Structure 1
């Protein structure tokens, strides 16, 4: 009886123990989730940075080039990416109507000049006649009334001469206007620059005052690549920390490995209501090769200028969060996540900078390492999941 009672307790206990062993094994095999951060390369001037802002590259001279008159485009002489000089011909409009108007105006000038010459000759003759008549009248050869008639005719001739001179002036002004209209059929570059966009092709009918349409009257967009600057957006509460002439570092998204010195030049006196930001213009000290308008950029406004040797980001060791470095009997190390598995990698740490440690030896920038690793869950080769939003 006692034996049966004993077996009755042993069997459930064995089953429970087996279940606990199976659950423990399943828990042990479960893939843990870890939080990661990337080993990063510190940016130049971090310790001297007053504040940072994002923006875009633009040019102080950037224009859509359009004709001053309406007309049909018959030739575009430049292509996108081509460098042009000030005064270089960019395009030509159909000039047939303008040329007819100019020729007519020139003919009117010649006609007015001939009319003026004839009137001047008549005026000279009238003046001589008036002088002779006055002499004869003084001698009593002719009556006074005849002298009055001759003087009246002379004054009329002088008025005709004045009219001829005025008509010639009007004809010359009209000719000048026609000449300008003809000149406007040739579109020239207003400054040295590079064609960034071609907006119209031969056959397009352009109107400079157009408010609709695909090209808005433009032929090309011209950009001066030697006058680039960054338009950085700074929140309004931070504006008091920016002043003209303040040194800055510019980081281009397209050239992430380099820092370019710059200077804050202007704070635009307007606030964007929707974003509560103001635009600060930051000029390159020397425009870098490869920089283009509309490139993304980040700007670090500095407390003081940096020496040239401090601009090299590769001159500083990479950094990791201090919580990622573990110290045990084997020394200092970090747990690297590589292809979804843990790899223990020894490191040689340098100075502490804020919440980070510099690495004299260890993984390179961009490597994912586990933050605040749990020693009980860290094993070489163990598969892990990266926490969503980590790194």
Structure 2
């Protein structure tokens, strides 16, 4: 018979609760850092989720007139076919300038006067010499007439044998000398008259007149200046004013020699002045200057306004569009040129095509009515005006109205 197992005391059946606090302390030791790490991740994730996305934008643009008809473009400056520095024809001291800058003048109008005292003295002397020459001519005529009568009388007497032949020869010689003196006196009168005309012309040169209708562009001298009618390398040393005909303005455009074959006299063109960026002015090609600038390999093409615009001035910056064909009648009407955007800026939404507009860094979705496609762009029959920034190739999953965005550097 097996031996009976000894029974454990009741104290051995009790649960030892002294190990539980130790395990809890170990779990808490790992739980607290985990919770702190989770909180840190949340704190980082929330700002990241709210960070403004970067978008690339362009401006809605208004197409230029004749953009589709443009063969090539060139830059240049406004000039006038009649532009001159007005200077006196004689040296002298300037005593009066009768015009001011910006003042219109007519051909023949007096613009300045020189000191004319010396010229008047020369004229008075020339007139006195004319009177002296005329008096000498009168005396020579009287002597010649007397010599002629004497010669006739002496010849009659010689025929009658009253006087010797030698005396007749002396009288005839004296008569010939009197005629030579008469001829000399006539020539002296002619010389004196011509000298008087020169003196009068010299006096007239002391009054400077405008050679053509124009506008005073610059005033180059004032009263008291001593002027000399000399020109050196295009700079007039004796200039009084610079006169410009504002009705004969044209643009001198520089075109590379490789593109000259695309330009013909009379070709249609459009001129855009930097001073009037929103306007285009119809023009025609005039002439091509028959010379090439070696340093730039360009030629100068004269492009003439069909109607010179009011406010255009010489030396204004300009751009010229040379057209391959004439413009349609409404080409210069802004209403006939709706604004354009890149085709990939337009996205399809539930209510139709839209664009994402960026204003003050915030997004706004605006509906548009798309018109004709031109190259990589589409016309907007309805939508935001020119100058508005729209998102190109928008990622609609990241965009929503009112969300702040960053504009990509270099875009717009």
Equivalent residue number for residue 89 of structure 1: 110
TM-score w.r.t. length of structure 1: 0.91
Determine helix, strand or coil for the equivalent of 2:122: helix
Equivalent residue number for residue 144 of structure 1: 165
Contact 1:77 1:91 in 2 (8 A): yes
| Structure 1 pair 67–39 and aligned structure 2 pair: CA distance change class (3 A) | same
Equivalent residue number for residue 169 of structure 1: 190
| Structure 1 pair 307–360 and aligned structure 2 pair: CA distance change class (3 A) | closer
Higher-Rg structure is 2
Contact 2:230 2:236 in 1 (8 A): no
How far the C-alpha of 1:25 sits from its partner, in A, is: 3.1
| Structure 1 pair 388–314 and aligned structure 2 pair: CA distance change class (3 A) | same
Equivalent residue number for residue 142 of structure 2: 121
How far the C-alpha of 1:142 sits from its partner, in A, is: 0.8
How far the C-alpha of 1:190 sits from its partner, in A, is: 0.6
TM-score w.r.t. length of structure 2: 0.87
| Structure 1 pair 64–382 and aligned structure 2 pair: CA distance change class (3 A) | farther
Alignment of 1:266-305 (within 5 A): 266-305=287-326
* CA distance in 2 between partners of 1:81 and 1:280 (Å): 28
| Gaps in structure 1 of 5+ consecutive residues | none
Deviations 1:301-321 (A, max 9, x none): 112212332222332211111
In the alignment, structure 1 residue 110 sits paired with structure 2 residue 121:
no
In the alignment, structure 1 residue 65 sits paired with structure 2 residue 89:
no
Of 249, 258, 262 in structure 1, the residue corresponding to residue 283 of structure 2 is 262
| Gaps in structure 2 of 5+ consecutive residues | 1-21
How far the C-alpha of 1:257 sits from its partner, in A, is: 3.2
Determine helix, strand or coil for the equivalent of 2:353: strand
Contact 1:259 1:312 in 2 (8 A): no
Of 321, 334, 343 in structure 1, the residue corresponding to residue 355 of structure 2 is 334
Alignment of 1:336-375 (within 5 A): 336-375=357-396
Alignment of 1:172-191 (within 5 A): 172-191=193-212
In the alignment, structure 1 residue 209 sits paired with structure 2 residue 214:
no
How far the C-alpha of 1:6 sits from its partner, in A, is: 5.3
Contact 1:199 1:215 in 2 (8 A): no
* CA distance in 1 between partners of 2:43 and 2:258 (Å): 60
How far the C-alpha of 1:111 sits from its partner, in A, is: 1.2
